[in-house]
Chains A and B, each alone.
Chain A
Amino acid sequence: MIATQLLLPKISYFSILPEICLIVGALVMLAMTSVTRNRITSKVYTGITVLAGIASIGFSIKNYHDVLRSGAHLVIDKVLAIDGFSVLAAILVSACVIIAAFLTQNFVDRENWSGPEIFALMLLAGSGAQFMAAANDLIMIFLGLEIMSISLYVLAALDTKRIQSGEAALKYLVLGGFASAIFIYGSAFVYGSTGTTNLGQIASFFATSYYTHNGLLIIGMVLVIAGLGFKVAAVPFHVWSPDVYQGAPSPSVTLMSSIAKIGGFAALLRILMTALVSYKADWQPIIYILAVASLLVGAFGGLVQSNVKRMLAYSAINHSGFILLGLVAATQVGVSASFVYLIAYSFIATGVFSVVTILGSKGDQNHDIRNYRGLAKKHPYLILGFAVLLFGQAGIPGTVGFIAKLSVFEALARSGGPGAYSLVVVAIVSSVISAVYYLRVVIACYSKPDEEMIIPDRLFSSSLSPISPIQKADGDIGQEHEGVTLLVEDKVENLKTEDVDTQDFRVGIGSSIAVILTSGIVVVLGIFPNLIIDLANHATFIF
Chain B
Amino acid sequence: MSVGLNYYLILAAVLFTIGLVGLLIRRNVLVMLMCVELMLNASNLTFVAFASKLKDVGGQADVFFVLVVAAAEVVVGLAIIVSIYRKRLGATADDLSSLKG
Contacts and interface: CB of A to CB of B under 8 A. Distances in A.
A192 B66 CA distance: 16
B4 to A, nearest CB: 14
Contacts, number: 163
A492 to B, nearest CB: 12
A137 to B, nearest CB: 9
Contacts of B88: 163, 487
Interface string B15-42: 0100110010000010011001001101
A413 B97 CA distance: 43
B67 to A, nearest CB: 11
A184 interface: yes
Contacts of B23: 174, 178
Chain B facing A: main interface SS: helix
Contacts of A490: 98
Contacts of A479: 97, 100
Nearest to A244: B99
Interface of A: 1-3, 6, 139, 142-143, 146, 150, 153-154, 157, 160, 163-164, 166-171, 173-174, 177-178, 180-182, 184-185, 187-189, 191-192, 195-197, 242-243, 246-247, 304-307, 310, 466, 471-474, 476-479, 481, 484-487, 490
Contact of B29 (A150, A174, A191): A174
Chain A facing B: main interface SS: helix
The 8 A-B pairs with the shortest beta carbon distances in the complex, nearest first, are A478-B97, A181-B39, A192-B50, A188-B46, A177-B36, A185-B43, A166-B84, A243-B99
Contacts of B9: 192
Given A153-B76, A181-B36, A142 B69 contact: yes
17 contacts: A2-B55, A139-B62, A166-B84, A178-B36, A181-B19, A181-B43, A184-B43, A188-B59, A192-B46, A192-B54, A197-B58, A246-B99, A477-B93, A479-B100, A484-B94, A486-B97, A486-B98
A246 B72 contact: no
B80 interface: yes
